[in-house]
Structure 1
Amino acid sequence: MRQTWRWFGPKDLVSIDDMMQAGVEGVVTALHHMPTGAVWPAEEIARRQAELAVMTDGAPSGLKWEVVESLPVSEDIKRQSGDWKRHVENWKTSMRHLHAAGVKVICYNFMPILDWTRTDLAYRLPNGATCMRFDAIDFAAFDLFLLARPAAAEGYDAEVTEAARARFKAMSEARKEQLAGNVVFGLPGAAERMTMEDVKTHLARYDAIPAERLRAHLVDFLAEVAPLAQELGMRLCCHPDDPPFPLLGLPRIMSTEADYAAVLDAVDIPANGITLCTGSLGARADNDLTGMMRRLGSRVHFLHLRNVALEEARLGGSFHEAAHLEGNTDMVAMIAAILGEERRRKAEGRADWQIPMRPDHGQDILDDLKRRAQPGYPAIGRLKGLAELRGIMTALDHPSLRAQA
């Protein structure tokens, strides 16, 4: 695996120097300041490349921009409304500019309105570390009583509704404000930040769009952009829903292996692929992650390796971001499956045999607690995760173990 690291640009409190000391091999970033739907100008791409190419003291870093995360897909494209056709053409132009700059992998998502959704951005664990958490009752309280979505009551059983009512009644005004801010945090690092009224307006626009129609819109989008990616020798990889179950009455179409298989079959060319995020997909107990890697591995173009601890068995239940080796996903088995896929690709002579991976998210530990970087993206917590993953990779790929396999 190619060891990469997500960076939010010069304002990121985790620096290029930090990445260098962590021993990463490449950078995952984006033009977070660009409005969604606009063309990414070649000069802005070059500026970002120049920014990550040097350390604080001006010494060359040797790092390159290897994966885009994310080139946003506008709500107009997802709904096929307004300027969606122009936005598709702009997306293709941005892709050409990225290709000219030597960037070959583009991660994107097709989640309506909100990206990853959490109720807590700094949940305190017993050891004093903090992490992101999704509390199902808090979320229901937000939906039913803060957002007051008209159809919300239809989505919760009586037990959850009553628990949410009691939780909301006990909340301070400060916690209500914090909860609303956490849920509508929006796309990490993006220029836009949504208000509650923004969310209500966007939700209304999805009232007539069921999952089948949203999936058809994704297929239409890929039918336009994936052939160009194939022609250019680029790879597109759709990130799964996070969390991978319905929220706010919105359709979810990239939550399971069946979801991915349907989209890969509909636009069946190698450039159309997967961002396999073990954290997002791992928030469903019924997702077989190692099986997905074995069965769909040829189309996995990017890996997010992180872990979550499910706090209850039911679909849609609470979970929190665990340390990379401590959650519900068997990371050793997962990495073994990934290394197996890489060996298969290498034997076939594929140029992309080495799959870019980043240690996704991380708990805030030690000095992270003072630095307060982008939620989910601490320096030391991610370094710990990368070191653990690197250790498994090194051990499993050691010649003595491979000889026994």
Structure 2
Amino acid sequence: MEQTMRWYGPNDPVSLMDIRQAGASGIVTALHQIPNGDIWSREAIAERKHMIETAGLNWSVVESVPVHEKIKTRTGNYQQLIENYKTTLENLAAEGIFTICYNFMPILDWIRTDLEYKLPNGAKALYFEMKALAAFDCFILKRENAEASYPDEILEKALLHYKSMTPEDIALLKRTILDNLPGAEVGYTLEEFQEVLNTYNNIDRKKLEEHLMLFLNEIIPTAERLGVFMAIHPDDPPFSILGLPRIMSSAKDIARILTDNNSPNNGITFCTGSLGVRADNDLVDIVEKFGDHIHFIHLRSTLRDMEGNFYEANHLEGDVPMYEVIKKLMTLQKKRNKVIPMRPDHGHQILTDLNTKTNPGYSAIGRLKGLAELRGVMYSLQNQH
């Protein structure tokens, strides 16, 4: 697999040379400075590509070209926004960039409730806690009928949790959920979030599935013509959040998406961390069944419990059978005769990361450690006799 790392552009505390020193050869990035829905000009793409190549690296994958909310809800000028998306793909292809990661999660990208969850060894990880989300949903946001989304035992814990929170705790939780994650081009105040939440009042799971299919009906022919590979990222977490439907969470969802738009250019980002949060997702089987449509790989592991809580584990620990997954992926590459880009995802804050400004989940040393561990597995598999 091509070894890459995500980079958030010139303002990322982790530099391109840091990434090169970590052993990666490819960069995964996006033009985060361009508002969602606007066209990425060929000039802006070329400028970013030149910056990456000057550092001795390759721009391997775009993560992400964001799908505008109006496309997801099919409201307002959504048709023009789809045309803008096609033009961006044209410009990326013209600059030699052909793998596009994107997601179709409503409103919010990946969600955590704690960005500095302290582990027993002093490292810090990203954490999702159901009672904290329920406290936000029911008692801070006060979404209508929010209580119906949670079992009684979680609601009881959420109320106790909320009552124990200081004003500073509440402000931090709001920031963490609504506007504190890297790669989220849009942040919200509580009031703004409620307004955009209302735009999904009449959009259930079935309707959102239809909207994704209609989006891909228009995008995939363009991708085929350009030789571009679209790779949808799984929902993170892979279940409904804040009453919003999520439609890319399971093997069944993957099968539907690939069947509705049957094309080799329509594919997935195989994120072991996102899919691995659900115990009913057999990751090795997913590679076996859908491997021809895996265009990009995120390797990370999570450790979950029965309540739906999880945190980012070390890359070779947690609930993901990482050795077996990598073994299957390397067999897949040989079968396809194609090198697939992968990146270590969501590293811990360790060592000097703990005293350095870092994007949540995208520390320098933590990801270096993850990449080193994954490279060791790949090396051992390559050299088995």
Which TM-score applies when normalising by structure 2?
0.98
Whole-angstrom distance in 2 between the partners of 1:290 and 1:186? 33
Alignment match, 1:16: 16
Whole-angstrom distance in 1 between the partners of 2:334 and 2:196? 45
Whole-angstrom distance in 2 between the partners of 1:219 and 1:279? 25
Structure 1 residue 195, shift from structure 2 partner: 1.0
Whole-angstrom distance in 1 between the partners of 2:17 and 2:75? 43
Whole-angstrom distance in 1 between the partners of 2:335 and 2:53? 33
Whole-angstrom distance in 2 between the partners of 1:122 and 1:190? 18
**What is the 5 A alignment of 1:3-402?**
3-54=3-54, 61-185=55-179, 188-310=182-304, 312-314=305-307, 317-346=308-337, 353-398=338-383, 401=384
Structure 1 residue 20, shift from structure 2 partner: 1.2
Change (3 A) 1:354 1:222: same
Identity of aligned pairs, percent?
48
Aligned length: 385
Whole-angstrom distance in 1 between the partners of 2:157 and 2:348? 28
Structure 1 residue 187, shift from structure 2 partner: 5.8
SS in 2 for 1:293: helix
Whole-angstrom distance in 1 between the partners of 2:250 and 2:357? 33
SS in 2 for 1:28: strand
Alignment match, 1:58: none
- The amino acid of 1:241's aligned partner reads D
Cα deviation per residue 1:278-314 (whole Å; 9 max; x = unaligned)? 011111111101110111000000000001011x224
Structure 1 residue 379, shift from structure 2 partner: 0.3
Whole-angstrom distance in 2 between the partners of 1:119 and 1:125? 15
Unmatched runs of 5 consecutive residues or more in structure 1: 55-60, 347-352
Whole-angstrom distance in 2 between the partners of 1:295 and 1:162? 41
Cα deviation per residue 1:371-392 (whole Å; 9 max; x = unaligned)? 1211000000000000000000
Change (3 A) 1:214 1:191: closer
Moved over 6 A (4+): none
- The amino acid of 1:50's aligned partner reads H
Whole-angstrom distance in 1 between the partners of 2:300 and 2:369? 12
Whole-angstrom distance in 1 between the partners of 2:49 and 2:225? 24
Whole-angstrom distance in 2 between the partners of 1:138 and 1:339? 39
Change (3 A) 1:276 1:13: same
SS in 1 for 2:351: coil
Unmatched runs of 5 consecutive residues or more in structure 2: none
> Conserved in 1, the CA contact under 8 Å of 2:38 and 2:84?
yes
SS in 1 for 2:48: helix
CA-based RMSD of the aligned residues comes to 1.0
> Conserved in 2, the CA contact under 8 Å of 1:114 and 1:186?
no
> Conserved in 2, the CA contact under 8 Å of 1:115 and 1:186?
no
SS in 1 for 2:104: coil
- The amino acid of 1:327's aligned partner reads G
> Conserved in 2, the CA contact under 8 Å of 1:186 and 1:194?
no
> Conserved in 2, the CA contact under 8 Å of 1:123 and 1:130?
yes
